[in-house]
Amino acid sequence: MKLVGFDNLKLLAAELHEQKRKLVTTNGCFDLLHWGHIHYLNEARKLGDVLICGINSDASVRALKGKNRPIFPQRIRANQVAALQCVDYVTIFHEKTPERFLQIVRPAVHVKGGDYVAENLPERACVEENGGKVLCLPLVEGFSTTSILKLLSQE
């Protein structure tokens, strides 16, 4: 099963590190899964052997995006991301930022979208302390959840 709880994530990460697998992580709300997400996740997967995606819980999405979000509950969002072939494992985290998730996984590479700047990410220190690096991949022009929601609200 691709969906992994935090207790099992510790065991999984330890096993993958023991096998000398290069772990890549990313995280986000993934509220409306769209082509930009899919392209980004496929590119992230190319950077290592295993891609582990942390999904913000419903409460953390509300704290980050406001009371009208998420559109889909965490279990749906996690299952949608897990359905993608490029994603090896998915976990749900409850904090606003992914440091706890990253401390458990200790990725070689942590990936974010190009709307972020690596130097400004709160999780950067956590990744680098464990020997990893943070990369920001370019966005696909015209695809963001916010822009799609704005477009839909005009109808």
Between residues 149 and 26, the one the model is more confident about: 26
Superfamily of domain 6-153: HUPs (3.40.50.620)
Please state the pTM of the whole predicted model: 0.91
What does the pLDDT average to over 12-38? Answer: 94
Would you tell me how many other CB atoms lie within 10 Å of the CB of residue 120?
8
Contact 39, 137 (CB under 8 A): no
pLDDT for 148 equals 62
Q: Hey, where are the domains in the chain?
A: 6-153
Q: Which of 6-20, 95-109, 114-128, 137-151 has the lowest mean pLDDT?
A: 137-151
Question: Distance between CA 99 and CA 73 in Å, rounded?
Answer: 22
pLDDT for 81 equals 98
